[in-house]
Amino acid sequence: MSSRKYFGTDGVRGLVGTPPISPDFVMKLGYAAGKVLAAQGTKKVLVGKDTRISGYMLESALEAGFSAAGIDIGLLGPMPTPGIAYLTKTFRAEAGIVISASHNPYHDNGIKFFSQDGQKLPDEIELAIEAELDKPMGCVESAQLGKANRIDDAAGRYIEFCKSNFPNQLTLQGLTIVVDCAHGATYHIAPNVFRELGAKVIEVGTSPNGTNINDGCGATSMQMISEAVVEHQADLGVALDGDGDRLMLVDHTGYVIDGDEIVYIIADNDLMSGTLQGGVVGTLMSNMGLELALKKLDIPFARSNVGDRYVMELLREKNWQLGAENSGHIINLNHTSTGDGIIAALNVLTAVCQQGKSLHELRQGMTMLPQVLVNVRFNGDSDPINADSVKASVDKVNHQLTGRGRVLLRKSGTEPLIRVMVEGPDHDEVTSLANDIAQAVKLAS
């Protein structure tokens, strides 16, 4: 595959005001994407955004670019990433565009694309857009310019879709749920979903001002919701990130439940209800405790590279339905076409209601193994992972942890760092072993 100049694993992302997240570049990106998509037969795209202040500027720039390419635009306003994927399908649009930098702070932003089936664009389309970006920007004749219209009922449509993924015979009545929306795109959606299904909802992070998205709240900062659950004596807490595709949970004790434990709870309940198809896909970073817990249930488990894009690829390859990253991306193809924090929360609440157990009780079937991560800076021109001394150190640790733990070394995709991860049953042991390997990496750098 050709190397990418602008697109990363999750679209185009960066610091606002600096290319590629500058108004001139984003307008050209809209035009380039419009030209490529028009050649595929596209006539209409949907554009949604999270609550960052830069969303207004980037939305206008994209609108101008698509219009210049002759593409009609439906403007959704603030809308979770999975909601845009869903609405792209229901509106029969040929593509959906998300203006968001997900869990990043407000001064970052990004653009990502969905195809008409609600999944991320194929690699060949992204590469074609990159090729078009290297050409001068043009404009169709005035009579062929794309038109823009604002879709006012987008939030209501998505709320109804979310509710439809919770069994009709069940209710959330009697449950008190703290919902933290990270001052992001779910602020006007998630509380209403859980409230309309019968729960008493305590809202956190639902007052976006353009600059407070993900700021000390949401799925990437769990202290506030943990304290709120205990303070309000709630049954559980639901924490979403800025664009609503990540989920972390909190049980009634304030304990934080990550993506590994969430997908275990869903898989266990799906197995009991007979709806589990195949096995579960995790990533190289998924806790070994998940693998061992699923093994006890005779549920197959496979690991992909880190990134929900790669989880999705392996799910398709195996024809399985359920996958997750420990960071909280949960993909359940029985319900959605992409990772969806609200839907994943409803999947867990389905288990709570069907089994008559608390969230705290549901997670007892899985024991998280201590996992230690050490970052080692290295000379970008060297390759310490393949040094004989490093390989020998890794082999020694693997031998010591046979059947009890594992080792993972990988390069950071953004910095000259080697990430050394060791996990096993004893925290002191894995800490010592991780430091041993890290020292070998330093000496080989």
Segment-wise mean pLDDT, segments of 10 residues, the chain, 445 residues: 73 94 97 96 96 98 98 98 95 95 96 88 90 96 97 97 98 98 98 98 98 97 98 98 97 98 98 97 95 96 92 96 97 95 98 98 96 89 89 95 92 84 96 96 90
Alpha-carbon distances, residue 151 vs 37, 87, 95, 302, 323 (angstroms): 21, 11, 15, 40, 32
Cα(160)–Cα(143) distance, integer angstroms: 37
Q: One of 54, 102, 286, 327 is an active-site residue; which one? A: 102
Name the maximum alpha-carbon separation found in the chain. 71
pLDDT given at position 118: 79
**102 given a catalytic annotation:** yes
Predicted local confidence at residue 3, as pLDDT? 66
Residue 7 gets the label, from left (phi > 0), alpha (psi -120 to 50) or beta, of: beta
What domains lie within the chain, and their CATH numbers?
Answer: 12-152 (3.40.120.10), 155-368 (3.40.120.10), 371-444 (3.30.310.50)
Residues 6+ apart with CB under 8 A from 142: none
Looking at residue 1, what is its pLDDT?
Answer: 44
Can you tell me whether residue 287 is helix, strand or coil? coil
Closest by Cα among 58, 100, 78, 338 to 187: 78
| Both tokens assigned to 438 | 């890290």
- State pTM to two decimals: 0.93
- What is the structure's pLDDT at 416? 86
Query: Residue 414's pLDDT is what?
Result: 67
DSSP 157-206: HHHHHHHHTS-TT---TT-EEEEE-TTSTTTTTHHHHHHHTT-EEEEES-
